[in-house]
């Protein structure tokens, strides 16, 4: 197989040390996520799923081990460097959409692009925003505000915003948690379509039905990662 490795994690551990108790949330995690893969991580509450996604997303630091994104070591970055990698390499989709209520659909998708230090021209941003909203079938809602949209539409705006940066990977945390089951199914179908078009996805979910839609399935229990079924990714 000659696919690029998007995410590589070697011997990652995480210990939360509070006054009363030391929690080993992640224990010697090893995983490679290849270009074009669709990875799901499921498992019981408290198993370490959010912790792992936060570490991959550079929102939290590991206690030990190594993390690479597209071959670049990102284990020990300054806060500014981590923010730059998050903005240019990682697309986030959360249960709670995290849209800015005061901004239109168009501006919500455009905003992260305007922060970039590689200075995208206004026309490039405009083209990208419209292209991504087209991908999630929301071209007819550019001037709407989040509170004028359904939950499923809001999540699709969040997906467009995540795609706009051409990220190395989409990091998806319980994407249907705030949606009814029909709308949730539609969002999952959209993620499948995006993956079929080449987007690499790593998704955390409680829902085994949705976890099964992924190509490579992991279980995380008591901080230990186990592969259930694997096609492209490789737990080493």
Ligand X SMILES: Nc1ncnc2c1ncn2[C@@H]1O[C@H](COP(=O)(O)OP(=O)(O)OP(=O)(O)O)[C@@H](O)[C@H]1O
Residues that bind ligand X (CB under 6 A): 16, 18, 23, 25, 45-51, 206
SS3 at position 83: helix
Distance separating alpha carbons of residues 65 and 30, to the nearest angstrom = 9
Least Å from the CB of residue 136 to ligand X: 26
Distance separating alpha carbons of residues 182 and 8, to the nearest angstrom = 34
Distance separating alpha carbons of residues 92 and 102, to the nearest angstrom = 20
Distance separating alpha carbons of residues 20 and 77, to the nearest angstrom = 29
| Nearest residue (CB) to ligand X, 112 versus 175 | 175
Least Å from the CB of residue 97 to ligand X: 17
- Helical spans, DSSP H, in 3-144: 49-56, 79-89, 105-114, 122-135
Least Å from the CB of residue 41 to ligand X: 9
Least Å from the CB of residue 61 to ligand X: 12
| Nearest residue (CB) to ligand X, 21 versus 121 | 21
Least Å from the CB of residue 173 to ligand X: 9
| Nearest residue (CB) to ligand X, 48 versus 184 | 48
| Nearest residue (CB) to ligand X, 206 versus 215 | 206
| Residue found by looking up tokens 């359904």 in the block | 150
- Distance, first Cα to last Cα, the chain: 16
Least Cα distance to 179 among 92, 94, 91 occurs for 94
Please say whether the beta carbons of 53 and 207 come within 8 A.
Answer: no
| Nearest residue (CB) to ligand X, 48 versus 112 | 48
């Amino acid at each position: 197989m000659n696919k690029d490795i998007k995410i590589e994690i070697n011997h990652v551990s995480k210990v939360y040390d509070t006054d009363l108790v030391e929690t080993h949330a992640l224990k010697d995690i090893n995983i490679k996520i290849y270009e074009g893969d669709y990875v799901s991580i499921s498992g019981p509450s408290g198993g370490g799923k959010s912790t792992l996604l936060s570490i991959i997303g550079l929102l939290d630091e590991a206690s030990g081990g190594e993390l690479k994104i597209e071959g670049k070591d990102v284990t020990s970055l300054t806060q500014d460097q981590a923010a730059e990698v998050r903005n240019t390499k990682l697309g986030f989709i959360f249960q709670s959409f995290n849209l800015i209520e005061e901004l239109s659909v168009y501006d919500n998708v455009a905003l992260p692009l305007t922060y970039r230090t590689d200075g995208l021209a206004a026309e490039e941003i405009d083209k990208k925003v419209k292209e991504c909203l087209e991908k999630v079938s929301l071209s007819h809602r550019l001037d709407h505000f989040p509170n004028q949209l359904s939950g499923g539409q809001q999540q699709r705006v969040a997906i467009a915003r995540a795609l706009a940066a051409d990220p190395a990977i989409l990091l998806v945390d319980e994407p249907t948690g705030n949606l009814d089951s029909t709308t949730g199914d539609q969002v999952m179908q959209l993620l499948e379509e995006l993956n079929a078009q080449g987007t690499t996805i790593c998704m955390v979910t409680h829902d085994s039905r949705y976890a099964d839609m992924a190509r490579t399935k992991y279980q995380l229990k008591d901080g230990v990662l186990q592969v259930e079924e694997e096609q492209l990714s490789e737990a080493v």
